[in-house]
A and B are shown apart, each in its own frame.
Chain A
Amino acid sequence: MKLKSHPLLFAARLFTVLALLAAPLAAMPSDGGTASLKSVDQDVQALKQQLIDLNRDLFKLEEELLYPASTQVAVFLSVDVGTFFALDSVTLKVDDKEVANYLYTDREVQALHRGGVQKLYLGNLKAGSHEIVAFFTGKGPHERDYRRGTTLKVDKTVGAKYVELRISDREASLQPEFVVRQWE
Chain B
Amino acid sequence: MVAAVAVAAGVPASAAPPALNSIAPDFALKAVDGHNVRLSEYRGEPVVVHFWAGWCGPCRESVAALDALGLRSGTPVLGVNLDGADRSAAVADSLHLKMPTLVDAQQSVARSYDVAKLPLTLLLDAEGRVRASWSGVAADFAELTPQLERLRQD
Are A108 and B35 touching (Cβ within 8 A)? no
Are B29 and A107 touching (Cβ within 8 A)? no
Query: Once the chains are docked, how many angstroms separate the CA of A88 from the CA of B35?
Result: 9
Q: Contacts of A107 on B, CB cut-off 8 Å?
A: 41
Q: Contacts of A108 on B, CB cut-off 8 Å?
A: 38
Q: How many B residues touch A, CB cutoff 8 Å?
A: 8
The answer to whether the Cβ of B87 comes within 8 Å of any Cβ in the partner chain is no
Stretch with Cβ within 8 A of B (4 or more), from A28-36, A98-106, A123-131, A171-179: A98-106
Query: Once the chains are docked, how many angstroms separate the CA of A44 from the CA of B28?
Result: 38
Q: What residue in chain A is nearest B35 (Cβ atoms)? A: A106
Query: Once the chains are docked, how many angstroms separate the CA of A104 from the CA of B37?
Result: 8
The answer to whether the Cβ of B30 comes within 8 Å of any Cβ in the partner chain is yes
Between A and B, how many residue pairs show CB distances below 8 Å?
19
Query: Once the chains are docked, how many angstroms separate the CA of A107 from the CA of B36?
Result: 10
Q: Contacts of A106 on B, CB cut-off 8 Å?
A: 35-36
Query: Once the chains are docked, how many angstroms separate the CA of A103 from the CA of B35?
Result: 10
Q: Contacts of B30 on A, CB cut-off 8 Å?
A: 103
Q: Contacts of B35 on A, CB cut-off 8 Å?
A: 105-106
A88, A89, A105: the one within 8 Å of B41 (CB):
A105
Query: Once the chains are docked, how many angstroms separate the CA of A171 from the CA of B41?
Result: 33
6 A-B pairs closest in CB distance: A103-B28, A103-B36, A105-B36, A105-B38, A107-B41, A104-B36
Q: What residue in chain A is nearest B108 (Cβ atoms)? A: A101
Q: What residue in chain A is nearest B30 (Cβ atoms)? A: A103
Query: Once the chains are docked, how many angstroms separate the CA of A102 from the CA of B37?
Result: 12
Query: Once the chains are docked, how many angstroms separate the CA of A42 from the CA of B40?
Result: 33
A88, A89, A105: the one within 8 Å of B37 (CB):
A105
Q: Contacts of B38 on A, CB cut-off 8 Å?
A: 103, 105, 108
Q: What residue in chain B is nearest A108 (Cβ atoms)? A: B38
Q: Contacts of A104 on B, CB cut-off 8 Å?
A: 36
Query: Once the chains are docked, how many angstroms separate the CA of A103 from the CA of B41?
Result: 13
Determine how close the nearest CB of chain B comes to the CB of A133; give it in whole angstroms. 21
Determine how close the nearest CB of chain A comes to the CB of B8; give it in whole angstroms. 21
Query: Once the chains are docked, how many angstroms separate the CA of A103 from the CA of B34?
Result: 12
Determine how close the nearest CB of chain A comes to the CB of B78; give it in whole angstroms. 13
Q: Contacts of A103 on B, CB cut-off 8 Å?
A: 28-30, 36, 38
